[in-house]
Amino acid sequence: MAKELWKGNEAIAEAAIRAGCDCFFGYPITPQSEVPEYMSVHLPEHGGVFVQAESEVAAINMVYGAAGAGMRAMTSSSSPGISLKQEGITYIAGAELPAVIVNCMRGGPGLGTIQPGQGDYFQATRGGGNGDYRTLVLSPSNVQETVDFVQEAFDIADQYRNPVMIVCDGLIGQMMEPIEWREIPKRKLPPKDWAAGGRKGRDHHNVINSLYMDPEVCDEHNRHLDEKYAEIAKNEVRWEEVQCEDAEIVITAYGTPARIALTALDALRAEGIKAGLFRPITLWPYPEKALHELAAKEHVKAFLDVEMSSSGQMIDDVRLAVEGQKPISYLGHAGGVMPTVEEMIEAAKKALKEVK
Amino acid sequence: MRATSFCSHRISIVTGHYGTGKTEFAVNLALAMAQEGDQVMIADLDIVNPYFRSRERRALLEEAGVRLISSSQACSDADVPALPAELLTILENRGIRGVLDIGGDPVGARVLARFQPKIVQEDYQLIYVLNANRPEVRSAETAITYLRGIEATTGLTCTGIVNNTHLCGETTEEEIRKGAALAEQVSKETGIPVLCHVAEERFVSALSDLPETVFPITIKMKKPWE
């Protein structure tokens, strides 16, 4: 199929429509406003429902309601707006409902800046809301991956009855890239016989709920959730390794910094420095085992973690995976500044020099 | 090839659907005009896009002698729809060649409406940038709908089409020719002439058979890994 030129945010919206998104509830915020804008025009053309809610809190609770009724529901926002949605996300996770949430991250904290950021890693992977829950977090690093992941996210959410979050930084949402619309393999999905979509001849009403007053019952509910998260962790871990086979210095990065790292790798290799990239694609579940095994390889001398975050957030997961086997250094900027190719080259050389 | 031969009017207003590459064209056009010895000012009036705006190339433009004016000098990353008072310099000083880089779609073109009475008194040209790889404007029909929308919003008449069909780093000669065919069709149906085809320098010689000027550019709006 011929390639087309799409802006990241409008491609996210189109991908969701192609995946059979029934309802979109959103609220504008830079740099993701093209998602609701595109949805408002095109989702109704496909029989779907678009609502611009009165706030982010309202939007996520509309997702909660629609998902509970068995709809394929979605919302999107950017960092401060995603913070507002956290209460709804923990309710959706607690009630075991499928939903797709896109965070087009900008620099923070607070209102921060409208330029790209990655400071929401902790929020996305540790659960920004209350309680013991997990959201599966997919992190694309270009527009093609973004549209592929958005389409797959609806299936993943339905399969596990769990919210799936796609975190891309503002640059991915705002940039134009050639993409092709690929057929995404469909998963075998269980029927939504739990949905509160009418009694339909059953002898009972379906109830959507996250309230478990009896502590024993709530404990049991948490145990059940935990088993589900273990299943997700077993089945859904994704990562990419680029030129890691003989790498002495391995850059760990996701999203846009991983993209910048590819250019840095070429430059480092051209100078005879064996550099590789380890790119987590699922931020939760984290590719801990793969990174641990890579760190154990004799040829790997050091790691350089690069993020759009002041002193790093994913670096905690890198440390947990590497388990002290090799030294880890850090390069990062927050507040909307992107690391440059030159900075990465310099930091990689420095990290390698320290161990040699 | 002289930029002022196909953009001969004192003020060039660059409009189009968002993502067609208006800013890349506008920046290259301003630089080419400055190279030809004109006193050039470019105004970044994009109130639609928060990223990839001509104001990001301030240093490059100023080094080439092009004066850049944008909506908020002190806060170039804000997405506030505030317009610079200095815009009037372009509209009133007839010794200056002006390039106005307008945000996408009729929404972005709204910034021009309040200046319409002033603009119509000047020697101006409203340019419509086309990219046949943008799904929303890839047919002549939809491209013309956007064009008419921009005219209706601004109260100005479009008098030139620019074919800026590309696929970022994956552009080929065929892509540009595909855009040329679309531009020709839009031109035929509207009576608006095609001013030029935009092409990275590496494609220029292969496209010499096209009836209109091929405007050679170098990519200025780069991504951080390019």
Helix (H) or strand (E) holding A240, with range, is strand A239-242
What lies within 8 Å, CB to CB, of A123 at 6+ separation is: A82, A83, A86
- As a whole number, mean pLDDT of residues A152-162 equals 98
Cβ-based contacts of A170 with chain B (< 8 Å): 50-51
A29 close to A103: Cβ distance less than 8 angstroms: no
Residue A194 has pLDDT above 70, yes or no: yes
DSSP, collapsed to helix, strand or coil, labels residue B56 as helix
- As a whole number, mean pLDDT of residues A120-136 equals 96
According to CATH, the topology of domain A4-198+205-235 is: Rossmann fold (3.40.50)
Residue B111 resides in a domain: yes
- As a whole number, mean pLDDT of residues A181-210 equals 93
Residue B226 resides in a domain: no
Question: What is the CATH classification number for the domain harbouring B69?
Answer: 3.40.50.300
Kindly identify which residue of chain B lies nearest to residue A107, measuring between CA atoms. B77
Residue B8 resides in a domain: yes
Encode pLDDT of B10-44 as tens digits. 999 999 998 899 999 999 999 999 999 999 999 98
Residue A137 has pLDDT above 50, yes or no: yes
Alpha-carbon distance of A355 to A326, in angstroms, equals 9
Alpha-carbon distance of B60 to B65, in angstroms, equals 9
Residues of A with CB under 8 A from a CB of B: 3-7, 30-31, 113-116, 170-171, 174-178, 256, 259-260, 262-263, 336, 338, 340-341
Nearest Cα to Cα of residue B136 among A299, A236, A318, A38: A38
A129 close to A60: Cβ distance less than 8 angstroms: no
Residue B75 has pLDDT above 60, yes or no: no
Cβ-based contacts of A174 with chain B (< 8 Å): 49-52
What's at A8, amino acid-wise? Answer: G
A101 close to A88: Cβ distance less than 8 angstroms: no
Mean model confidence pLDDT for chain B: 91
Encode pLDDT of B127-137 as tens digits. 999 999 999 99
Supply B125's token pair.
């040209």
Q: Which has more pLDDT, B76 or A110? A: A110
Helix (H) or strand (E) holding B99, with range, is strand B97-102
Provide, rounded to the nearest whole percent, the portion of chain A with pLDDT above 70: 100
Contacts 24+ apart (CB under 8 A), B180-187: B180/B210, B180/B212, B181/B132, B182/B130, B182/B132, B182/B138, B182/B139, B182/B140, B182/B143, B183/B130, B185/B140, B186/B130, B186/B140, B186/B143, B186/B144, B186/B147, B186/B161, B187/B161
- As a whole number, mean pLDDT of residues B73-100 equals 80
- As a whole number, mean pLDDT of residues B143-162 equals 96
Residue B76 has pLDDT above 70, yes or no: no
Q: What is the DSSP track for A12-76?
A: HHHHHHHTT--EEEE---TTSTHHHHHHHHHTGGGT-EEEE-SSHHHHHHHHHHHHHTT--EEEE
Kindly identify which residue of chain B lies nearest to residue A336, measuring between CA atoms. B77
ipTM for the predicted complex comes to 0.88
pLDDT at B73: 47
pLDDT at B109: 86
- Angstrom CA distances, B23 to A51, A115, B17, B160, stand at 32, 18, 12, 16
**Residue B78: band (very low, low, confident or very high) from pLDDT cuts 50, 70, 90:** low
Sign of CA dihedral A151, A313, A78, A143: negative
Cβ-based contacts of A175 with chain B (< 8 Å): 51-52, 223
Q: Do A175 and B18 touch (CB under 8 A)?
A: no
**Residue B77: band (very low, low, confident or very high) from pLDDT cuts 50, 70, 90:** low
B7 close to B29: Cβ distance less than 8 angstroms: yes
State the residue range of the domain holding B21.
Answer: 3-217
Residue A6 has pLDDT above 90, yes or no: yes
Residue B223 resides in a domain: no
- As a whole number, mean pLDDT of residues A272-284 equals 98
Domain boundaries, chain A: 4-198+205-235, 240-355
Residue A123 has pLDDT above 50, yes or no: yes
Total of domains in chain B: 1
Mean model confidence pLDDT for chain A: 97
Q: What is the DSSP track for A277-322?
A: EEEESEEES--HHHHHHHHHSTT--EEEEEESSSS-STHHHHHHHH
CB-defined contacts A:B, below 8 A: 65
Residue B74 has pLDDT above 50, yes or no: no
Residue B182 resides in a domain: yes
Encode pLDDT of A19-48 as tens digits. 999 999 999 999 999 999 999 999 999 999
pLDDT at B46: 81
Residue A17 has pLDDT above 70, yes or no: yes
**Residue A354: band (very low, low, confident or very high) from pLDDT cuts 50, 70, 90:** very high
Residue A201 has pLDDT above 70, yes or no: yes
What lies within 8 Å, CB to CB, of A73 at 6+ separation is: A21, A22, A23, A24, A25, A62, A63, A66, A67, A98, A99, A100
| Range with the poorest average pLDDT among A196-200, A206-210, A298-302 | A196-200
Domain spanning A240-355 has what CATH number?
3.40.50.920
- As a whole number, mean pLDDT of residues A158-182 equals 96
Supply B109's token pair.
């073109």
Residues 134-193 of B with CB under 8 A from A: 134-135, 138, 166-168, 170
Encode pLDDT of A292-351 as tens digits. 999 999 999 999 999 999 999 999 999 999 999 999 999 999 988 999 999 999 999 999
